[in-house]
Chain A
Amino acid sequence: MTIKIKVENLNFYYGSFQALQNINIDIHENRITALIGPSGCGKSTFIKTIDRMYDLIEDTKADGTIAFEGINILDESTDVVELRKRIGMVFQKPNPFPKSISENVLYAVKRHGDQDKKDFPSIIENSLRKASLWDEVKHKLNQSAFSLSGGQQQRLCIARTLATKPDIILMDEPTSALDPIATSKIEELLQELKKEYTVIIVTHSMQQAARISDYTAFFLNGELIEFGETKEMFTAPRDKRTEDYITGRYG
């Protein structure tokens, strides 16, 4: 099994508050890794470190190593623009751009300027197909993205991420704002996506983690309590705190 990302001794600070403490984790290629834990445990902060989105938040600092293709993502010299093309992010609430459906998919492609213009129609179709949205929107690609339902908007956000040809997709509770049907569609989609991409997903729901992920990491108060294969973690947790959490004793 190839390791896509190797995190070693990661610490993260908001001002003087330490939000992540000495995190060590291996992210496996073409697998879904779920991050679970109660609110404020650091799981969302953790995925923000992987594509350096924390750069946008003032007064934050990270140290340690996140090794990805021979570079340390946390290095000052890392080109975050290139990095974020390779590592896409899907947010908690669908955030399509106020543009048409096809413009949403092409948004980053056009602005990166590294793909041929005559490929645009096929990029639109392929991205939307991979996000299993094509059949629902193929007849109205020029309509505003806001005309779509919440679940469709979220799949559009996935499609526009796929259009930049990433290796890794980060998802920050992508279904927490969606109804059960839209959620199950996205969960099915994830099983397709992992054939081509490495997925890291933050989730509030332990059931979701158990259903969809291959690996699970349990965070608590900024520490990684337990990390392992999902099957094992949910049947035989090694740590007492993990057991308490997954059996619903807190969180």
Chain B
Amino acid sequence: MTRYQKKLRMRHFYNQAFKVLLFLVIVVSLLVLVTLLFDIFRKGYQTLTWNFLTSMPSGRAARAGILPSLVGSLVLIALTALISIPLGVGTAIYLELYANRRSRFFKLLQLNIANLAGVPSIVYGILGLAIFSQMLKLGPSLIVGSITLSLLILPVIIVSSSEAIKAVPSSIIDGSYALGVTRWKTITGVILPMALPGILTGSILALSRAMGEAAPLIMVGAVGFVTFLPDNLLSRYSALPLIVFNWTSRPQEAFAQIAASGIMVMMIILLITNLTAIIIRNKTQSRID
């Protein structure tokens, strides 16, 4: 065997070894996830009925339902989207297309936004409690909950929208300017349409995160056990993570079961939103290509 063949053999061996190693990494992380999901499914699928979805919570697990929390979560997320997406996308447009990129202020802003994305969610809860609940006297209301969640996910939306805007080729932007099209019409004409898939994906993923948050909502006074539906912006409300938290902290096995059903509901909603994100992305992308 020549020296060259020997070396080639070693290279093949390393190549294979590394491939196996990477595969094992995937298996480990997936295995944990699958076990978790399986356990939840096993516990929860029996009690996940239409009745469960459409009933009020109750002290008796057999009669308890999830309706106020389900409606609460959906309304909360809708309001959060209405607040956070325009603010976040607007900020990203300003930062990427209007701000003087070399100014101190711009660098400070960028650093801060990146840092804000890493602030623990409970801190946003404290902020929401101090400013919106107490200073503005809005109390433990739906609107305070959605403003707080909006603040929480705003950095993520700004960063992902900025990245999407940055990814629009400058040759296309120059092409628009060279035709005597104004900056604003260039933004609405080519930049936003091309950045839209990225903006939507980032925003929907951020909203999914907000959907699963319990800590900041507890801070601003959302509760698990509510027997009415929110009917205005100042209503008290519940959300899915809170009722799940409420149920899991009870000792009876029956509540652990419906908690698992609650988690399933939450996951199905997340699955649907993420799926929507993918569909929207594919649709807008195919329109572009």
Contacts and interface: CB of A to CB of B under 8 A. Distances in A.
Q: Do A and B bind each other?
A: yes
23 contacts: A53-B174, A53-B178, A58-B101, A58-B102, A81-B180, A83-B180, A84-B178, A85-B180, A88-B179, A91-B171, A93-B171, A95-B169, A95-B171, A95-B172, A95-B174, A97-B176, A98-B190, A98-B194, A98-B289, A108-B179, A108-B181, A144-B289, A160-B179
B135 to A, nearest CB: 41
B177 interface: yes
A107 interface: yes
Interface string A98-126: 10000000011001100000000000000
A112 B186 CA distance: 11
Q: A interface, by DSSP: helix, strand, loop or mixed?
A: helix
A98 B60 CA distance: 58
A51 B181 contact: no
B176 A107 contact: yes
Interface string B38-73: 000000000000000000000000000000000000
Interface in B168-221: 169, 171-172, 174-182, 185, 189-190, 193-194
Interface in B135-174: 169, 171-172, 174
B26 interface: no
Interface in A120-169: 144, 146, 157, 160-161, 164
Interface in B75-121: 101-102
B177 A146 contact: no
B28 interface: no
Given A53-B174, A112-B180, 7 more contacts: A56-B177, A58-B102, A97-B189, A98-B172, A107-B176, A107-B189, A161-B179
A59 to B, nearest CB: 9
Contacts of A82: 180
B34 interface: no
A20 interface: no
Interface of B: 101-102, 169, 171-172, 174-182, 185, 189-190, 193-194, 288-289
A217 interface: no
A107 B193 CA distance: 13
Nearest to B181: A111
Contacts of A146: 289
Given A97-B172, A98-B194, A88 B189 contact: no
Nearest to A110: B189
A112 B181 contact: yes
Interface string A54-74: 001010000000000000000
A51 B178 contact: yes
B190 A91 contact: no
A144 B177 CA distance: 21
A89 interface: yes
A157 B194 CA distance: 18
A98 B179 CA distance: 16
Nearest to B102: A58
A80 B180 CA distance: 7
B190 to A, nearest CB: 6
Given A93-B171, A95-B171, A107-B189, A88 B178 contact: yes
